[in-house]
A and B are shown apart, each in its own frame.
Chain A
Amino acid sequence: MASDDAAGLRAILDAAERRRKSVTYYAPEAGDLIERLDTRNLDVEFRAIPPRGPEPFLIVRAGGQFRGAMPVEALREHVGWSRNRRGEMDEHSEAYAIIVELLDDTVFASLSKRQLLLTVREFEDRAWRVGNGVLHTGFQSATAFAPQRGLYRELAAETALDVHIYVADGERVEPLDEPNATLHTEPAEEIGRYWFLVFDGGEEREQGVALVAEQRPDETFRGVWTYDPDLVDRALSLLPSVDGDR
């Protein structure tokens, strides 16, 4: 069972890899776009085209299949990188669908502990704002959890969230007093390999998010986060343990 659990979290990383898209970026000059897309779940290939030809554009493929083409400017406006005002984009338009699909999964090839903490904080805030639903967070050690304990107590006390905290390495951790906060310490071995956060979005499914990060020997992390509801569901179904310590 224990090794299956590890494979479970591993499977989220693997599923994201499989969904990885390749982008061919056509423009006279590369500019900063490749750097901008660096943390996304994308392989970006730049191909220079002559000036006075088409405006810079992106071709998106997944598994070798063409998925869409969009002007670079449309992407820049959508994500707020443009000097122009952020575009008012019709959420039902093809352009919107293509851009959202392009930016759906996010892999960080390498992330410092601080960057990872900031990302996790963003997702904790998201769960806080929604205020209901189930939040699972896995810490690699009691030492990693200790500084977050106050935050999680508050999160449980102030919201209707069902909070599940997983702490690895078998160290004794005091359960939290809040009835909607459950501590899991028993599936120690596997948890220690991954840092994860999964929020089901509560009553707002589109607010769901799943993050799985794996620590590397050099102390950086490699991982993925996704807002895709199907992947979030999958992450929920793969979590190591359902029963708490009490």
Chain B
Amino acid sequence: MIDDDSALSEYEGYDWESLSGVPSPDALFRVLSHRRRRRILWFLLERPETTVGELADILVGWELDDEDGTAGPDKHERVLVALHHNHLPMLAESDLVEYDIETGAVRFSSPPEPITVLIKFSYQYERAVAGRRT
């Protein structure tokens, strides 16, 4: 008879009992369902405090790699608007990120390891599967 938990044994090191303040599964995977948010979260792992302006720069820069080109003011404005009205509010809603609408400050909540591992996995998976040129 197979132990019910054997398929999950590689995660046994995590303290699954004491996860608190974490997003619901639906909220977590909704957050990770968009490339820009996957990139934002991966960036925040490395740089836990930033601003909406810097994130807009970073995303525009990142998308140069996807689109093999340059970006003008329209592109930057669209990214900024999407961050401000969509991505950052959703991330704030999930409690993974604090977003100060007044100052533009963005702060990562430093979630427990299962979530940071998932963020890294999502980013790596994207690079592998989306066929990043480098």
Residues on A facing B (Cβ under 8 Å): 24, 26, 47, 49-50, 52-55, 57, 59, 65-71, 74, 93-95, 98
* Interfacial residues of chain B within 75-94, with CB under 8 A of chain A in the complex: 75-77
**Are B72 and A94 interface neighbours, CB within 8 A?**
yes
Question: Given the complex of chains A and B, what is the CA–CA distance between A99 and B27 in angstroms?
Answer: 42
Instruction: Report how far A71 CA is from B73 CA in the complex, Å.
Output: 15
- B103 at the A/B interface (Cβ < 8 Å)? no
Q: Which stretch (B14-22, B28-36, B63-71) binds chain A?
A: B63-71
- State how many angstroms separate the Cβ of A226 from the closest Cβ of chain B: 22
Q: Are A54 and B71 in contact (CB under 8 A)?
A: no
Chain B residues whose CB sits within 8 angstroms of the CB of A54 once the complex forms: 58, 61-62, 64-65
Further 11 A-B residue pairs, CB within 8 A, beyond A53-B43, A54-B58, A55-B64: A26-B57, A47-B54, A50-B46, A55-B61, A55-B65, A59-B57, A65-B73, A66-B76, A69-B60, A70-B71, A94-B70
A49, B57: Cα distance in complex, Å: 11
Residues of A within 8 A of B43 (CB): 49-50, 53
A-B contact pairs, 7 of them (CB 8 A): A49-B47, A55-B61, A55-B134, A59-B61, A67-B72, A94-B72, A95-B69
CA distance in complex: A121, B71 (Å): 36
Interface range on chain B: under 10, 10 to 19, 20 to 34, or 35 or more? 20 to 34
Asked whether, in the complex, the Cβ of A50 is within 8 Å of the Cβ of B57, the reply is no
B64 to chain A: which residues have CB within 8 Å?
54-55, 57, 69-71
Interface residues of B (CB under 8 A from A): 39, 42-43, 46-47, 54, 57-58, 60-62, 64-65, 69-73, 75-77, 127, 134
Are A68 and B70 in touch, CB under 8 angstroms? Answer: yes
- Distance in angstroms between the alpha carbons of A70 and B72 in the assembled complex: 9
Chain B residues contacting A53 (CB-CB under 8 Å) are 39, 42-43, 46, 58, 62
Minimal beta-carbon separation of B130 from chain A (angstroms): 14
Contact A69 B77 (CB under 8 A): no
Task: Indicate if the CB atoms of B73 and A66 lie closer than 8 Å.
Answer: yes
Known contacts being A50-B46, A53-B43, is A66 close to B77, with CB within 8 Å? yes
Q: Quick one: given A94-B72, A95-B69, A98-B72, are A69 and B61 in contact (CB under 8 Å)?
A: yes
Cα-based distance from A67 to B70 in the complex (angstroms): 11
- Nearest chain B CB to A102 CB, angstrom units: 10
Complex interface: chain A residues within 8 A of B47 (CB):
49-50
Chain B residues whose CB sits within 8 angstroms of the CB of A94 once the complex forms: 69-70, 72
